Amino acid sequence: MTDDSGEASGETQFHIVKIDLDERSLAPATADIEHERKVAIYDLIEENFFHPIGADAGPFELYLSNVERRLVFDVRRQGGAALGQVHLSMTPFRKIIKDYFLLCESYYDAIRNAAPAQIETIDMARRAMHNEGSEILRERLQDKIELDMNTSRRLFTLICSFHMR
C-alpha cells in the first residue's frame, strides 16, 4: 500500500541505493574534497527521494558523469539494468557554482579570522546559494526525474564536486 508521497510500508520505493561518480569527469581531488564527496554520497544514500518519470518502482542506481560540458545521469535499476540517461547542460550551473565556491572560500576564511556574526552572515549566504543551485537542478529535471529538496541539495553538492579543485 502506498500513500501520496510514494511511501510503501514506511519506506519509499523511489530511492537511490548506489551512486558512482565517473572518475574521469572529476577534478583532481585533495583529501578534503574526496571526503566531501564521500559524505555527500553517504548522506544521499541514507535518505533520498528519486523518481525517474515513467519508472514504476525502484530502488535505483545512479552513475553521474560530466561529458562534453553536460551532466549525465545514467539511471539504472538496482542490479544494473539500464533505465535511461538524462543529459543536462552545465551552462545554467556555471555561475551559481562559481559564486558558491567563492562564498565557500569566504566562509572558510571567516572561520579563521572573523567575528561570529560575520561567519553566520556568510554561512547564510552560502546556504542560500546552495539552495538556489538545488532549485535550478530540480527545475531542470522536473520532466525527467522527481526529487525532494534534500535529495536535490545533496546532488547539487555532487555536481559541484566535479568542479572542486
Contact assessment for residue 127 and residue 163, using Cβ atoms and an 8 Å cutoff: no
* Residue 100 is assigned to a structural domain of this protein: yes
Q: What is the pLDDT of residues 76-104, one digit of tens each?
A: 999 988 999 999 999 999 999 999 989 88
Q: What is the pLDDT of residue 12?
A: 65
* Residue 56 is assigned to a structural domain of this protein: yes
What is the three-class DSSP state of 101?
helix
How many domains are there within the chain?
1
The residue among 7 and 29 whose pLDDT is bigger is 29
Q: What is the pLDDT of residues 50-63, one digit of tens each?
A: 999 999 888 999 99
pLDDT, mean over the chain: 87
* Residue 109 is assigned to a structural domain of this protein: yes
Report the chain's terminal Cα–Cα distance, integer Å: 46
* Residue 143 is assigned to a structural domain of this protein: yes
- Tell which phi-psi region holds residue 10, choosing left (phi > 0), alpha (psi between -120 and 50) or beta: left
What is the three-class DSSP state of 75?
strand
Residue carrying C-alpha cell 522536473: 142
Residue carrying C-alpha cell 530502488: 59
Q: pLDDT confidence of 5, banded at 50, 70, 90?
A: very low
Contact assessment for residue 73 and residue 88, using Cβ atoms and an 8 Å cutoff: yes
Above 90 in pLDDT, residue 47? Answer: yes
* Residue 1 is assigned to a structural domain of this protein: no
Domain hosting residue 99, numbered range: 7-161
Nearest to 141 by CA among 75, 42, 43: 75
Q: What is the pLDDT of residue 165?
A: 59
